Amino acid sequence: MTNPLSRLIAGRPLEGAELHRIAAQKDRRGSFAEIFQEHWGSCIAPVQWSFVRSEPEVLRGMHLHLRHDEYFCCLEGKVFLGLRDLRGTSPTRDQWSLYELHGEDPAALTFPRGILHGWYFPERSLHIQAVSEAYCDYGGDDNWGCHWADPELQIPWPQTHAILSDSAANFPTLQGLRACLSDATDA
């Protein structure tokens, strides 16, 4: 059987989003891998790191942040990561991407603010993530959401059912999210 490969599986890369391959140095003691490098020149200057465990069939998101950039890396298990570009002036405006990331082939995805994002775990998984603004600063006023299953998103998720948080189950459609954003901008 071939080893699983972390990669973009559908859609196209969004402007500013980058998949960084992570090479593990192996020896008889185990392995050593750099999971973030400032030298990558990615979009994110992290100020908070988190590790997150997820049970099978959990979907987290979809979330949108207008002020901070993100980093995501699957360490164990498998994740489908969906993105949709909501930036008004982006060359990839309204385009979407679907990545498949595996703990066995670690790779880090970095992407800028203004991109709607969600992660679906078909199996028990562990991932790390980083943000360029701390949750205690953005959680109250820059944590927008959209329901993952809205067909207008066009993201070809591999599943039709997912375990959600109560708030994510009640997220608006993409159209509803756009209306919320426009109300907030007008306020």
Tell me how far apart the alpha carbons of residues 160 and 83 are, in angstroms, rounded to a whole number: 17
80, 119, 144, 148: residue in contact with ligand T46 (rule CB under 6 A): 119
- Interacting positions 165-184 with ligand T46 (CB under 6 A): 165, 168
What residues numbered 149-168 form the site for ligand T46, per CB under 6 A?
165, 168
Beta-ladder partners of 61: 118
Site for ligand T46 in 36-75 (CB under 6 A): 50, 60-61, 63
DSSP E strands, 12-94: 18-21, 24-27, 30-33, 48-54, 58-64, 70-76, 78-85
Number of residues that bind ligand T46 (CB under 6 A): 10
Q: How far is the CB of 91 from ligand T46 (least distance, A)?
A: 23
Listed in sequence order, the residues at least 6 apart from 183 whose beta carbon sits closer than 8 Å to its beta carbon are none
104 phi/psi in degrees, rounded to 5: -75, -15
* Interface with ligand T46, residue 118, by CB under 6 A: yes
Applying the rule CB under 6 A, the residues between 75 and 114 that interact with ligand T46 are none
Kindly give, in sequence order, each residue whose CB lies less than 8 Å from that of residue 175, ignoring residues fewer than 6 positions away. Answer: 152
The smaller minimum CB distance to ligand T46, of residues 91 and 139, is found at 139
Residues that bind ligand T46 (CB under 6 A): 50, 60-61, 63, 117-119, 135, 165, 168
